[in-house]
């Protein structure tokens, strides 16, 4: 049921994720949905809890990554590097949609807490608040500009390809690592 709510928010927006639509997508009765999620707020809270759990998993992978936190964080920030239908990416997108509606402050708080947590993990590794902030800003830039560093796309002249992204992700990671030293 939560999967269906999340998918509807991602694909069609928060307003389209009505109880009727969620129940139909989950192939359950509306009563069955209401038994588990008695209010719209309960659905939103369930999605926020899912984001928290997925973030815990992501932070565990970050802190145990062989090449370090910065390398992991930057490389997994490009949507083009993520597996299709990545659970964390899909959940972030859904919670961001809920937050953007202005009706769910817990969604905004969850996204803020997520960014704060990533910042703290990066800061713990690099030790410098300015460098940690820069790493997080680069991560955000990659996440919201997914094709920026795809050199093949830029070289091919594909529609929408950005000419700004001339450095490879490897070069960006190396530069950020050098700043952290």
CATH code at position 8: 1.10.10
What is the distance in angstroms between the CA of the first residue and the CA of the last residue of the chain?
47
Q: Which residue has the higher pLDDT, 151 or 125?
A: 125
Q: What is the structure's pLDDT at 146?
A: 54
d(CA 72, CA 74): 6
Nearest Cα residue to 52 out of 107, 97, 119: 107
Q: Does residue 166 share a domain with residue 120?
A: yes
pLDDT of 21 reads 96
Q: Are residues 32 and 52 in the same domain?
A: no
Residue 150 sits in the same domain as residue 176: yes
Q: Give the per-residue pLDDT at 152.
A: 44
Structure-token pair, residue 134:
């820069």
Shared-domain flag, residues 56 and 3: no
Query: Mean pLDDT across the stretch 136-164?
Result: 63
Residues 54 and 21 in one domain: no
- What global pTM score does this model have? 0.84
Q: In which domain, by residue range, is 68 found?
A: 47-180
pLDDT tens sequence across 106-127: 999 999 999 999 999 999 999 9
Q: What is the mean pLDDT of the chain?
A: 88
> Would you place residue 180 in the very low, low, confident or very high pLDDT band (cuts 50, 70, 90)?
confident
Tokens of 139: 């991560």
Same-domain status, 107 and 54: yes
pLDDT band at 33 (very low <50, low <70, confident <90, very high): very high
* Same structural domain, 32 and 114: no
Q: 98 and 16 in one domain?
A: no
* pLDDT tens figures, 35-88: 999 999 999 999 999 999 999 999 999 999 999 999 999 999 887 778 888 999
Q: Count the domains in the chain.
A: 2
């Amino acid at each position: 049921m939560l999967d269906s709510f999340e998918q509807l928010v991602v694909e069609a927006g928060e307003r389209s994720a009505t109880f009727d639509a969620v129940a139909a997508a989950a192939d359950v009765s509306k009563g069955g949905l209401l038994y588990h999620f008695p209010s719209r707020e309960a659905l939103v809270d369930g999605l926020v809890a899912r984001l928290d759990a997925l973030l815990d998993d992501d932070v565990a992978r970050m802190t145990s990554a062989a090449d370090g936190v910065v390398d992991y964080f930057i490389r997994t920030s490009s949507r083009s590097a993520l597996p299709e239908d990545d659970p964390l990416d899909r959940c972030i997108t859904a919670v961001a949609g809920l937050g953007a509606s202005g009706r769910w402050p817990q969604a905004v708080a969850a996204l803020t807490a997520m960014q704060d947590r990533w910042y703290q993990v990066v800061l713990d590794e690099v030790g410098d608040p300015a460098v940690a902030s820069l790493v997080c800003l680069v991560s955000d830039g990659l996440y919201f500009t997914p094709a920026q560093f795809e050199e093949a796309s830029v070289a091919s002249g594909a529609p929408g390809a950005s000419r700004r992204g001339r450095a490879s992700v490897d070069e960006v990671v190396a530069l950020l690592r050098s700043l952290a030293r």
